[in-house]
Amino acid sequence: MRIGILQCDSIMDEYRSQFENYPEMFRTLLGTQDPTIEFETFDVEHGHYPPTVDRCDGYVITGSKASVYENEDWIRRFGDYLRVLHESRTPVVGICFGHQLLAQALGGKTEKSSKGWGVGIHTSLVVQKKEWQQPPLQKMSILVSHQDQVVQLPKDAELIVSSEFCPNGGFQIGSHILSFQGHPEFTKPYSQTMMNHRREKLGEEVYQKGVTSLNQEIDSPLIARWIISFFVQALAKKGQPE
């Protein structure tokens, strides 16, 4: 299986000696679970796209410091491209910014949340049981870093995970689109570093709560297996009626 990573941002220069860049985080996350996966990165933020939609079997969309509702040419172009992937029933998994842009591009809505920043480890209920959720979970704990949220799902979307803080924490469309607000590719040290960097912006209460939450276990390895299983099943169903 060949997975294309649609890169929407890079980690800050001062942290590149400490941490992998976002595409490499996904290579580590998914490749650890299945070493046979091949990866190719496309820097869509700077206009680098696959030459054809079937260049890869499926695509993962990374996070970004940008907001999907910003009036940026690259975001508008990328939204158009996501609609092309959707129309071709190409398997796509969106993470954070990718989750939000998929929602917005396909008829939903994303905006800055009045609830403020979500950081550290958050736990959501798994409200829909799907075949690719093997093994299944009733609750999903994942690292998060966002202040924007999907406030309206696309009309054909099924809600997958939800919490009081982030009601639309994950959704699926047909058998080919899956998205999560959280970051299974992040590590606890990277999350801690980002909270340290944004401490003043977060405010002390949010910062302390986020740092304390890092003592919890996260379900990233299991979520990686879910994503791989989703791709396998999506490819098996490609071309069949939704």
Q: What is the pLDDT of residues 159-170, one digit of tens each?
A: 999 999 999 999
Task: Count up the domains in the chain and report the number.
Answer: 1
> In which band, very low, low, confident or very high, does the pLDDT at 178 lie, cut at 50, 70 and 90?
very high
Helices (H) and strands (E) in the chain, counts: 7, 11
pLDDT for residue 242 is more than 90: no
Overall average pLDDT of the 216-232 stretch? 97
Distance CA 221, CA 157 (A): 25
Q: Give the structural domain span for 195.
A: 2-237
**Residues across the chain:** 242
Give the containing element (helix H, strand E) for 7: strand 2-7
pTM, two decimals, is: 0.96
Name the percent of the chain lying above pLDDT 90: 98
Distance CA 82, CA 177 (A): 10
Mean pLDDT, the chain, rounded, equals 97
Distance CA 146, CA 118 (A): 5
pLDDT for residue 239 is more than 80: no
> In which band, very low, low, confident or very high, does the pLDDT at 95 lie, cut at 50, 70 and 90?
very high
pLDDT for residue 240 is more than 80: no
Residue 85 belongs to domain with CATH number? 3.40.50.880
Judge whether 229 lies within some domain: yes
Distance CA 168, CA 208 (A): 25
Judge whether 170 lies within some domain: yes
Residue that is written with structure tokens 């093994």 in the block:
135
Judge whether 242 lies within some domain: no
